[in-house]
Structure formats: structure tokens, C-alpha cells
């Protein structure tokens, strides 16, 4: 992945539907838009869509090829989106907030329903830590700017603690897993399938997940101008995502068998992770935008982002012709 330009060195900054019919589109396809470059992670519908090969077949009549690039987490994926190495990708709730704060070149396109059990605060099975309140003064690992960053903030708040009451180690998932196993950190805030793997493989114990605390939406995002250039591609992608979502809901074990080798996990662990995800892709609505705004405001108040954001400024929705019009 290309190094980010100075305006997007945002880790340093952070430290200071069914197929849709579009009404008479006025866009004209860019002749360079003959490849859709998708960024994905080891979770969610996109990795399943990649495994099926269905999107490549769907987009071929449009003259569009598909390439795939794997990223370890949402912040890195959005950096790739910003610098132009991918056109479309998925992340959790928090990465787009931090990316917008850093001036990233992105738009929200759609989201999946809440999946609050798909992320959690975990401790080693022999740990004396039983509740979130017990984390006071402890060292907690997480991927900075990821969806679990917000979970940690809100879980601490619910337990009467402040963010400053704990020590935080900002580590990518692989490094955090190693530190967790060595005992270098007391707790780890992580999402599926890394969460499921830690539970199944090393007996990690959940002290709190997102239920009753956060929604944990997954978001689909694109480079800022892509929606207006290729709404036909986005509609086709969403239609194929919806088919995969329906398949997982109908046949979770079959989906887990298909996904496991791509995720590098056993079927049982993969099925656990899939069972905690949200399925049913939609374009953005006012309620979800309002939730994202609350997340942005929270990180502004914590001074983890430098200024107030207006989330709706980076939301794209299509002009849709409905059956009643």
C-alpha cells in the first residue's frame, strides 16, 4: 500500500438493497472505471462475496473487472481508500469518523444492521478481572481508531470510569493477540473473527460485549466521487451483498464451511463469528447518520479528534425511482 500523503498521516493527527432502479442518471462512466478495487478484511460479507466469485460475473456485462486487497483493520483500509489504492471497502463505526477528521477522500455508501455481540472486551481465562470496572489502572490493547475504540469508551463510561482511568496500548490485531498471550496487556478490545478465534483457541473470556452499549454497524464506503460516477456498479454490488447476506442467514454452517479457509480459521470458529454479524445491506438513513454523529461528538469531546465533524457531509445516497412515482 502506498504511503499516505502528509495530509492523511492521521495516526499522528489522532495523537494531538435489492437491485435499485435509478431515475434518469446524468452520470457518465469514467473510461478509467473499468476496474472496481475492493478493500476487505477477515470478516463480514465482502470476504464471503469474494469467495463466491459472484460479483465478478455480475459486473462483467458492465465491462468492470474486480480486484481485491486485504487490510488488517478499518483505519488501514480507509488510508488505502484515501490514497487511491482501493475504490470500495467496509469498516466498523469508528474508522470513518477518524478518517473524516483527517480530511480523507471518502463517502459513506451503505451499512449493515447492528451486530453488538461481534466485538468485546476480553481478558485471559485465568485473569482476576471480572468486570469493566476492574480495568481501572490496567493496560488495555486495541487498534486505534477502530470500531472497538468506541466500545471501550462507552463501556468505561457505563461502568463509571473515564478513558484516562486506564492505560491504552494501540496495537494492530496480530500484535495485540501476541501481547495478550504473553500477558503484556491485561485486556484486549477486539472484533470478530479475531474475537471468536481468541475465545475458541486460547479460552479468552468476555467481560463485556457491545450489547446495550453500542450498535457496531458495518459501513460500506467509497472514494468520494465514485457514487456519482458509477451508481450502477454500487447498485450491483449491493444486490450481490444482499444475496450473500440472505445465504448466510439461511445456511450459516454452509457459509462457514465456505469462508473458513479464506479466513484462515476452523469452521466452528468461523460459524461463531458469522452468527454474531449483522445482515441486510441498506443505504444510509437519518437514524444511522445520527448514531455516527454521536460517535464523532464523543471523540471530539475526548480530544481524540481535533474538531467537530458533520457526518452527513460525507454521506452519499442514490436518486431512486420508486414504484409509486
**pLDDT tens track for 147-192:** 899 999 999 999 999 999 999 999 999 999 999 999 999 999 999 9
Residue 27 main-chain phi, psi, to 5 deg: -70, 155
Report the Cα 82 to chain-centroid distance in Å.
16
Ranking 3-7, 46-50, 125-129 by mean pLDDT, the lowest is: 3-7
Residues in the chain: 325
CATH architecture for segment(s) 116-209: 3-Layer(aba) Sandwich (3.40)
Does the pLDDT at position 13 exceed 60? no
The candidate with the shortest Cα–Cα distance to 228, out of 25, 9, 15, is 25
Nearest-angstrom CA–CA distance, 224 and 316? 8
Residue 18 above 50 pLDDT?
no
Looking at residue 237, its pLDDT comes to 96
Task: Lowest mean pLDDT of 2-11, 45-54, 104-113, name the range.
Answer: 2-11
Within the chain, residue ranges assigned H as helices are 10-15, 44-52, 54-59, 74-83, 94-101, 147-158, 173-182, 194-202, 226-229, 231-250, 252-263, 267-274, 286-301
Residue 4 has pLDDT above 80, yes or no: no
Q: What is the mean pLDDT of residues 37-45?
A: 86
Contact status, residue 187 vs residue 121, Cβ threshold 8 Å: yes
Radius of gyration of the chain (CA): 19
The tens digit of pLDDT for each residue in 261-309 reads: 888 899 999 999 999 999 999 999 999 999 999 999 999 999 999 999 9
What pLDDT band is residue 23 in, cutting at 50, 70 and 90?
very low
Whether 325 has a pLDDT exceeding 90, the answer reads: no
The pLDDT, as a whole number, for residue 32 is 58
Enter the CATH code of domain 6-115+217-314. Answer: 3.40.190.10
Q: What percent of the chain has pLDDT over 70?
A: 88
Rounded CA-CA distance 255/270 in Å is 9
Q: Of 154, 275, 142, which is closest to residue 209 (Cα–Cα)?
A: 154
Query: CB-based burial of residue 220 (10 Å sphere; 0-12 exposed, 13-18 middle, 19+ buried)?
Result: buried
What percent of the chain has pLDDT above 90? 77
Of 2 and 243, the one with more pLDDT:
243
| pLDDT value of position 72 | 86
Taking 3-state DSSP, the helix, strand and coil percentages for the chain, each rounded to the nearest 5, stand at 45, 20, 35
Furthest C-alpha separation in the chain: 62
Predicted local distance difference test score (pLDDT) of residue 320: 58
C-beta neighbour count of 291 within 10 angstroms? 17
206, β-bridge pairs: 122
Domain residue spans of the chain: 6-115+217-314, 116-209
Q: Which residue has the cell 481508500?
A: 81
Q: Are 229 and 33 in contact (CB under 8 A)?
A: yes
55/65 Cα distance (integer angstroms): 9
**Span 88-108, pLDDT tens digits:** 999 999 999 999 999 999 999
Query: What residues contact residue 322 under an 8 Å CB cut-off, 6+ apart?
Result: none
- Phi/psi at 63 (5° precision): 75, 25
Q: In what order do the strands lie in the sheet with 187-191?
A: 167-170, 139-142, 187-191, 119-123, 205-209
Mean pLDDT score of the chain: 87
Q: Are 112 and 179 in contact (CB under 8 A)?
A: no
| Cell numbers describing residue 63 | 465491462
With bands split at pLDDT 50, 70 and 90, how would you rate the model's confidence at 43? confident
Q: Is the pLDDT of residue 324 over 90?
A: no
Amino acid at each position: 500500500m502506498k504511503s499516505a500523503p502528509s495530509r492523511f498521516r492521521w495516526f499522528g493527527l489522532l495523537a494531538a438493497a435489492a437491485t435499485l432502479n435509478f431515475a434518469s442518471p446524468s452520470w457518465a462512466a469514467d473510461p478509467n472505471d473499468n476496474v472496481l478495487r475492493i478493500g476487505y478484511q477477515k470478516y463480514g460479507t465482502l470476504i464471503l462475496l469474494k469467495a463466491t466469485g459472484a460479483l465478478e460475473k455480475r459486473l462483467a456485462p458492465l465491462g468492470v473487472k474486480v480486484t481485491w486487497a486485504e487490510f488488517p483493520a478499518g483505519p488501514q483500509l480507509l488510508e488505502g481508500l484515501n490514497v487511491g489504492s482501493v475504490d470500495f471497502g467496509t469498516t466498523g463505526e469508528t474508522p470513518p469518523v477518524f478518517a473524516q477528521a483527517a480530511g480523507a477522500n471518502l463517502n459513506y455508501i451503505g451499512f449493515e444492521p447492528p451486530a453488538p455481540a461481534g466485538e468485546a472486551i476480553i481478558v485471559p481465562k485465568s485473569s482476576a478481572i471480572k468486570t469493566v470496572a476492574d480495568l481501572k489502572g490496567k493496560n488495555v490493547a486495541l487498534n486505534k481508531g477502530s470500531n472497538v475504540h468506541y466500545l471501550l469508551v462507552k463501556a468505561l463510561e457505563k461502568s463509571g470510569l473515564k478513558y484516562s482511568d486506564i492505560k491504552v496500548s494501540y496495537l494492530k490485531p496480530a500484535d495485540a493477540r501476541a501481547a495478550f498471550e504473553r500477558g503484556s496487556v491485561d485486556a484486549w478490545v477486539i472484533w470478530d473473527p479475531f474475537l471468536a478465534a481468541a475465545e475458541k483457541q486460547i479460552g479468552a473470556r468476555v467481560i463485556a460485549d457491545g450489547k446495550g452499549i453500542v450498535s457496531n454497524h458495518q459501513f460500506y464506503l467509497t472514494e468520494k466521487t465514485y457514487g456519482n460516477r458509477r451508481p450502477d456498479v454500487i447498485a450491483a454490488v449491493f444486490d450481490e451483498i444482499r444475496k450473500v447476506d440472505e445465504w448466510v442467514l439461511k445456511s450459516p454452517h454452509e457459509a462457514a464451511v465456505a469462508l473458513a479457509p479464506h479466513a484462515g480459521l476452523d469452521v466452528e470458529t468461523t460459524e461463531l463469528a458469522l452468527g454474531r454479524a449483522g445482515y441486510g445491506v441498506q443505504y444510509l438513513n437519518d437514524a444511522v447518520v445520527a448514531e455516527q454523529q454521536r460517535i464523532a461528538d464523543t471523540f471530539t469531546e475526548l480530544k481524540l479528534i481535533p474538531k467537530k465533524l458533520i457526518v452527513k457531509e460525507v454521506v452519499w445516497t442514490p436518486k431512486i425511482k420508486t414504484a409509486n412515482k
